[in-house]
Structure 1
C-alpha cells in the first residue's frame, strides 16, 4: 500500500513507493513577485533563493529520491521569461544535480515543459500514477494538478494527490480577531463526482475509492481558497464534491475536523 505523509510543519509530503521515496510539493509559483508587481502593483523583494533552499533542505531532510511538483511550478501563465525563467532554471538545475524531478503540468505551466524538457520528467494536465511501474494500483500514487478532470488511471491509485486549490482556513477568536492558515485536506475521494465527465465505466474500472490529499501551496505568497468560509468557491472542476467528507489539518499536524465546520 502506498503511503503519503506530510512533513511536519512543512507544505510538503513524502510518498514511500516500492522503488523510491518521493518528495511532493504543489504550487511553487516561481517568479510570483514579478506577477504581483504586474497584477496588483505590489512590490516585494524576490524570495527565489529562499524558496530554492527550502526545497533543497527538504530533499536532505526527507532523504528523497525524487521531487514531484504537483503543478504550477511557474506563476505567470505564458512561457516563463526574465526573473521567473531564471528562478525556474536555477531550481531545476539545483534539484536535478541531486535527484530526478517530475512536473505534473498545471494551468500556469504552459511553457515550462517545453523550455526545460531536457531536465524534467513531465506528466500531462490529466496527471498519472507514480510508483507502480506496471504493478498493482495499491503500490502507486495518483498525481494531478487539479485544474482539469483527471485521467481515469489516476483514480485507480491507492492515494490521489493534487494541488491547485491552495486550501486555507480562516480562524477567529472570541474577541473578533482572525488569522489565515494553510491546511491539508485529507479524506476519501468520492467517485460519483467523476461519473458524468469520465463516464461510469471508466470510474468503475478504477475500483475502490482512493484516499485523497489536497496540498497546501508551497509558496506562502500565493493566497488561496478559504475552505471554511461560505461563498468562497473552489477552483477545481471536481471539488468540493469529490472531497465532501475531507478533514482539514494544519501544517503542524493539528486535526481541525471536517473542513466545512472549522
Structure 2
C-alpha cells in the first residue's frame, strides 16, 4: 500500500486514493453564540472545501476520523439540520467511512446511503489503521504500519521578540512507547505503528499548543489532551510539520 501523503496547505492526507480528514465539528458555531461570539454557519464552506479537495486529489473514498458534529452529549438544532446536508452532499461525490469520535453521539440517525459508520475502536485497511483517538483502538492496529488519528487538534505556539503569541496547526508524527503498549494490550511486540495526528479540518474547532509547555504526557497526573494513545507517544522525539509541509523538527526542540 502506498505511503500517506499530506495535501499541501490543507489539514488532509491522501493514501491509496483515499482522502482522510479529522475533526469537522459541524455546529460549533452554536457554542460560540452562547459565549456571545457570532460566527455564521461554516457548513457550506466545509462542503465546498471538501469537494474541491476530492477533485484536486482525485480521491475515490473519504475517511473522517471522528467528530463530524460538535455538541456533546446530544445534538443541537443546527446539527440536526446541517449534518444530514453535509453528509448527503459529500457522499454524492465519494463513499464515506466514519470512525465516530467522542462528539458523535446520535450521529447514526443522520447518515446518508453512501456513508458507513464504523466502531469507535476504529478500523483497519491493509497496513493502515483509522481511529479518532479518544479511546484505545482495536488490537488489530498493532499489526499495521500507521495509526491515523484526530482528536488532539495539535498546534505549535510561537512567540516573537515583542512577546506576541500565535499558533499554527501542525501534523505530528510519533512513535509509541513499546512497553506501555505491551502493558495495555498484554502482548509482546517487535515494532509499533507510527502515529500520525491530524490537525482539525474546521479552523474554528480550536487548537492545543503541544509545545507550550511541551505536553510530554504525565500519566500520573493525567495532563494534556485526553487521548490514551497520544499519552504514550514519544513526544520529545516526534516530528511536527506545518500545513505547507515545513518540517519544524523534533517537538522536544520546539520550545
Q: TM-score with structure 1 length normalisation?
A: 0.87
Give deviations 1:74-115, integer Å, cap 9, x for gaps.
101234342212221111111111110010010001111243
Provide structure 1 residue ranges, at least 5 long, that are not aligned to the other structure: 133-139
Q: Is the 8 A contact 1:189 1:212 kept in 2?
A: yes
Q: Is the 8 A contact 1:169 1:180 kept in 2?
A: yes
Give deviations 1:169-222, integer Å, cap 9, x for gaps.
111122222211000001333333323322225xx3xx5322221000001111
- For 2:163, what is the secondary structure of its paired residue? coil
Q: How do 1:28-67 and structure 2 match up within 5 A?
A: 28-38=24-34, 40-67=35-62
Structure 1 window deviating more from structure 2 (166-175 vs 226-235): it is 226-235
Cα distance between partner residues in 2 of 1:49 and 1:224: 22
Task: Please tell me whether residue 253 in structure 1 is matched to residue 236 in structure 2.
Answer: no
What residue number does 1:136 align with?
Answer: none
RMSD of aligned C-alpha atoms?
Answer: 1.8
Q: Is the 8 A contact 2:21 2:198 kept in 1?
A: yes
Cα distance between partner residues in 2 of 1:8 and 1:101: 22
Cα distance between partner residues in 2 of 1:187 and 1:89: 35
Are residues 25 and 121 of structure 1, via their aligned partners in 2, closer, same or farther at CA, if it must alter by over 3 Å? same
Count of aligned residue pairs for this structure pair:
245
Q: Is the 8 A contact 1:73 1:108 kept in 2?
A: yes
Q: TM-score with structure 2 length normalisation?
A: 0.90
What residue number does 1:135 align with?
Answer: none
What residue number does 1:235 align with?
Answer: 226
Give deviations 1:133-188, integer Å, cap 9, x for gaps.
xxxxxxx3111100011111022211110000000111112222221100000133
Q: How do 1:79-158 and structure 2 match up within 5 A?
A: 79-116=74-111, 118-130=113-125, 132=126, 140-158=127-145
Task: Please tell me whether residue 164 in structure 1 is matched to residue 151 in structure 2.
Answer: yes
The counterpart of 2:193, out of the listed 207, 210, 218, is 210
Provide structure 2 residue ranges, at least 5 long, that are not aligned to the other structure: 216-223
Q: Is the 8 A contact 1:101 1:121 kept in 2?
A: yes
Q: What is the CA distance between 1:231 and its match in structure 2?
A: 7.0
Q: Is the 8 A contact 2:169 2:242 kept in 1?
A: yes
Q: Is the 8 A contact 2:26 2:82 kept in 1?
A: yes
